[in-house]
Amino acid sequence: MIIENDVKLDFSDVLLKPKRSTLVSRKDFVLSRVFKTKWSQRTFECVPIIAANMATGTFKMANVFSKYNMLVAINKFYSINEWIAQDATTIANCIYTIGMSDLEYERYLQVLDVLFALGKIKSKQDLHLCIDIANGYTKRYSDFVKKIRDANPSTVIIAGNVCTAELVQELILAGADFVKVGIGPGSACTTRQKTGVGYPQLSACIECGDAAHGLDAGIVLDGGMRSPGDIAKAFAANADFVMLGGMLSGTDETDGDIEERIVQTNIIKRSHDGQIIGLQEEIQKHKIWYGMSSEYAQQKYMMGMKDYRTSEGRREEVPYVGPVQPIVDDILGGLRSAGTYIGATGIKQFGKCATFLRVMRQHDRF
């Protein structure tokens, strides 16, 4: 048994230090980044925020995200016909998800064929691929990534999840352009409770980002961000992309129905002869939010889930919050503002400009 004693940090353990800024207006802040990928050698520009391939990985989400040039990892339970029904602009902002499954890979190839034949993608390399598995630490998984890379030399491939530098390097050497980083930080994830396994997400970001950048590849920091400030910290810690689930939950664009419930609350009414307690009825709306390996998801998607993840996910009710657009605006506004505070002219400059202050962890305050 070994104990590593150096401190590992999470988002709430740090703050960004304000610095002199040359930015005249927040409007001048550059949200998008240009990426040139290591293996696929593709150049593309986008705002580096991805909606997770959970209930947030929907075409409705992609519709909205495409207006911001942000990306959506579409969940893997859409049929080929549902892919066909999308327009080219929406598809341009989608990432196709598969697990470690030949069957799902075959279906990806079929979707590519059909979309290409219909002119919805210009080339069969235009649809980025995310090879997603809860535990990216097995040799079988890196072999699978290698197999897919060999067959698709010019496709952007994202592989994960892992949370340590050596496995980031292994997956890059197997063919990933980007490695997805995060074991256990997700809002609907119970891995840490069920297995005791995990890694504080900010340190994972710093260490894995360093490992990936040393090999001219990148990382997608996946999970654990609860506020726009956490996203600013992720970019400051050298994340190339962030992937968000929980922050986008409860919106119209996520999978699942809105449920209504009548809630009774006590209210105090003042009458001429004193106070009386009355009951007030209020309709609360909520949506179900669930981890992709929760029993709820397994039942919802039935056959598709069998070999996906062990049940390390939870189901919960989250308040219904309406359209996702104000949430996106809030995130982008937060990033612009963070840029003016730390003297960064764009997301790309965050890493260079940032100084983190270690603070006493204060869960409730930020």
Q: Which of 223, 228, 339, 346 binds ligand 5GP (CB under 6 A)?
A: 223
Q: Report how many residues bind ligand 5GP under the rule CB under 6 A.
A: 27
Q: Is 245 in the site for ligand 5GP (CB under 6 A)?
A: yes
- What residue type is 105 in one-letter code? Y
- Please report how close the Cβ of residue 208 comes to ligand 5GP at its closest, in angstroms: 14
Q: Based on CB atoms, which residue is closest to ligand 5GP, 170 or 222?
A: 222
Measured CA to CA in angstroms, residue 262 lies from 11, 278, 281, 283, 322 at distances of 36, 16, 6, 5, 18
Binding segment for ligand 5GP (CB under 6 A), chosen from 82-90, 111-119, 142-150, 245-253, is 245-253
Is 191 a residue of the active site? yes
Among 227, 67, 74, 91, residue whose Cα is nearest residue 158: 74
Secondary structure class of 352 (helix, strand, coil): helix
Residues 150-189: x where in contact with ligand 5GP by CB under 6 A, - otherwise, as a string? -----------x--------------------x--xxxxx
Binding segment for ligand 5GP (CB under 6 A), chosen from 203-211, 269-277, 290-298, 322-330, is 290-298
Q: Based on CB atoms, which residue is closest to ligand 5GP, 256 or 343?
A: 256
Q: Which of 136, 218, 291, 339 binds ligand 5GP (CB under 6 A)?
A: 291
What DSSP assignment string belongs to 117-186? HTTSSSSTT-SEEEEE-S-TTSHHHHHHHHHHHHH-TTS-EEEEEE-SHHHHHHHHHHT-SEEEE-SS--
Q: Is 37 in the site for ligand 5GP (CB under 6 A)?
A: no
Q: Based on CB atoms, which residue is closest to ligand 5GP, 121 or 255?
A: 255
What DSSP assignment string belongs to 276-328? EEEEEEEEEEEEEEE-TTSHHHHHHHGGGGTTS--S-B-EEEEE--B-SHHHH
Give CA–CA dist 270/278, Å, rounded.
Answer: 10
Q: Which of 126, 222, 240, 253 binds ligand 5GP (CB under 6 A)?
A: 222
If one counts every other C-beta atom within 10 angstroms of the C-beta of residue 176, the result is 32
Is 58 a residue of the active site? no
Q: Is 50 in the site for ligand 5GP (CB under 6 A)?
A: no
Contact 359, 241 (CB under 8 A): no
Kindly list the residues in this chain that would bind ligand 5GP in the complex (CB under 6 A): 52, 54, 134, 161, 182, 185-189, 191, 222-225, 243-247, 291-294, 309, 312-313
